[in-house]
Amino acid sequence: MATQVAGNPRWSQNASGRIMSHSNDLVETGETFKSGEFCRKASDGLMYEAVTGVTSVAASATTHYALEDLDATIGNSTTRKQFGVVAASDEYEMNELDGTVAEVTEGNHYEIDVTSNVCTLDLGNTNFPTFQLVTPLWRIREFQDTSSDTLARVIAKPLTINIEAAPAA
């Protein structure tokens, strides 16, 4: 058994062959995020770091993917940052929050967890799911990932309702 080290999601593939498209967006003052974190474009037109444990899919949406770090010192609503635009058929390599991942979780819907600028998939949280677990990576990346890994690496894709929900405030 190995304990994997949590890192931010990594775009892996898109079922329709699409390459992630880009956007340059304004960021809410004080927001911080790291490369590879999911972000949410809110109804005020500004980008926010994705959050977890909120009360609607729209509020926990992950519409964008940070392509560069943003430290608190430069976050303001006049700063544009580069983002990738999350699409429905994108698939991301992600860590599970803290546990192992069994094959029987394939196809199930989960929320993400965002802690200390790291986004992971939380199999313990199905309240307002934003991602569908495609498969644990140990099933397809042999001799590197194993079924006993904790913080196991998985392939997950965003739910359409997540990225197409009307922006929340």
Q: Where do contacts with other proteins occur on this chain (CB under 8 A)? A: 7-8, 10-14, 17, 19-20, 34-37, 65-69, 82, 84, 93, 117, 142-144
Classify residue 87 as left (phi > 0), alpha (psi -120 to 50) or beta: beta
Beta 90-95 vs 64-66: how paired, if at all? unpaired
In angstroms, rounded to a whole number, what is the distance separating the alpha carbons of residues 59 and 139? 32
Q: List C-alpha distances in Å: 5 to 39, 132, 144.
A: 21, 21, 14
CB of 55 to other proteins, least distance (A): 28
CB of 166 to other proteins, least distance (A): 26
* Contact yes or no for 79/141 (Cβ under 8 A): no
CB of 109 to other proteins, least distance (A): 23
Beta 90-95 vs 109-115: how paired, if at all? unpaired
Q: Which is nearer to other proteins, 12 or 127 (CB)?
A: 12
CB of 111 to other proteins, least distance (A): 21
Q: Which is nearer to other proteins, 58 or 87 (CB)?
A: 87
Q: Which is nearer to other proteins, 84 or 129 (CB)?
A: 84
Q: Which is nearer to other proteins, 10 or 44 (CB)?
A: 10
